[in-house]
Amino acid sequence: MAELTHGFKIDEDKCRGCLSCMRACPTHAIRVRATKARYKPDHCIDCGVCLTTCPSGAIGATTWSVDDLNRFKFKVAVPCPVLFGQFPAGITPSMVVEGLLALGFDAVWDFSVDIGLVARAINEYVERWKGATPLISISCPVVVRLVQVSYPRMVDQLIPVQLPREIAGREVKRKFSAQLGLSKDDVAAIYITPCQAKAISILQPAEGAVSHLDGTLGITDVYNAILAHASLQRAEASETRRPPIIRNSTFLRWHMSEGLGHVLAGHRYLLVTGLSNIIQVFDDIEKGKLRKVDFLDAYNCWSGCTAGNLTIANLYVTQSKMHSLVSKLPEMDGETEAEIERRYPTEDFSLERPIRPRPIRGRTGSLKERVQMIQQGEAMLATLPGLNCGLCGAPTCKELARDISMGDATAQDCIFVSKDRLQGLERAYLPRPE
């Protein structure tokens, strides 16, 4: 099984083993052993729930720095549209572009065309689809990984169309390598991301292919430098230096949670945000309760990417600014539309590889081995109290039984089976009298 990359790390010195992250994790990817939290990499979907739940600040997001990009000869920023809604009033999109250039980028990519191309490809895919519904957007990598881990029978409902940022990365390398006479490996396409999950999906795409993007910087990593540079600029001068990067409202809408709904207005469309809501909807799909929906657009973060864990500004302030920008723009401009018409017939927008269920320990192996493990787990579960207290270090008795069947725990971890376990917890957690 290939080693999985994840975007969060646990600082053992800060971890108190309080069980909060373990209990909050939606895919049961965390165990607490010897009073320290541990990830089960094959279960983790990089949703970030543990990050926001940990009361001691022991869980942090891994990030890149600008210095990591210096090995490239030519660096191109591919900014998520959410970036332009992060700044105070008076900081224009063109000033944000100038700030990225001052940060060390050689160019900033406008991927309005790439968004338009993908929107058309998704619309055509939905119209042609004859299989199970609803089809599910792959815009949010947490949703994709949730399907791979917890709803493997639904992977064929994930839309296998490349994301706009990937099309942008491909075009960045194609254009600037030809224009500058450089190898494509010398041209870096760097996505400015609103969340950790997108960073990890670029490092290790769910389908197992190689991303067209070379790396990411979080909005948190570039925000202060852009703001400082913008404060030294005059807005009038900034607006006249180069063409505006935002030419139409489709560009901004794409990451405002209702973006695909706008594209698929002619289809039966459902938008769901928030992981707990998504899980509820996915459960209903598996039970056959949700049938009259063609397309499901789901985002781990409330209100979509504007609430990503690598953003700075208040969610509602960000949305207000982006709606203000949208109100001043046409839905589509002529230049972008002409470029979409030129490129669409000749380009391939399908994923390089199909998305498959994630290989998870305990679900792989021969049928005989899997059946034996299930039988062992069920037999062990029958001996446990079923209280799901979590004091064994697993979130539920069922998960403890599975861990025991795989050799990762023993029945002695249950406080109702072993008094030694309870005494050990008392020594570990209760303060000793002086």
pLDDT averaged over the chain?
Answer: 88
Residues 6 or more apart from 68 whose CB is under 8 A from it?
215
Residue whose tokens read 């005494």: 423
The encoded tokens of residue 409 equal 């725990």
> Which of these ranges, 40-44, 202-206, 256-260, 292-296, has the smallest mean pLDDT?
256-260
Give the confidence band of 432 by pLDDT, cuts at 50, 70, 90. low
Res 68 pLDDT > 70: yes
| Domain-wise residue ranges, the chain | 1-62, 66-132+159-257+306-346, 365-434
Res 132 pLDDT > 50: yes
pTM score: 0.88
Give residue 155's pLDDT. Answer: 96
Res 297 pLDDT > 70: yes
Give the confidence band of 368 by pLDDT, cuts at 50, 70, 90. confident
Q: Is the domain 1-62 a CATH 3.30.43.10 member? A: no
Give the pLDDT confidence of 376-428 residue by residue, as tens digits: 989 999 999 999 999 999 999 999 999 999 899 999 999 999 888 888 888 87
Tell me the fold of 365-434: 3-methyladenine DNA Glycosylase II; Chain A, domain 3 (1.10.15)
Residue 271 contacts residue 257 (beta carbons within 8 Å): yes
What is the share, in percent, of the chain residues with pLDDT greater than 90?
58
Cα end-to-end span (Å), the chain: 50
User: DSSP 3-state assignment of 345?
Assistant: helix
Whole-angstrom Cα distance, residue 296 to residue 268?
A: 9
Give the confidence band of 20 by pLDDT, cuts at 50, 70, 90. very high
Count of CB atoms within 10 A of residue 267's CB?
Answer: 17
Res 86 pLDDT > 50: yes
**Which CATH architecture fits 66-132+159-257+306-346?**
3-Layer(aba) Sandwich (3.40)
Helix axes 196-203, 141-150, angle to 10 degrees: 70
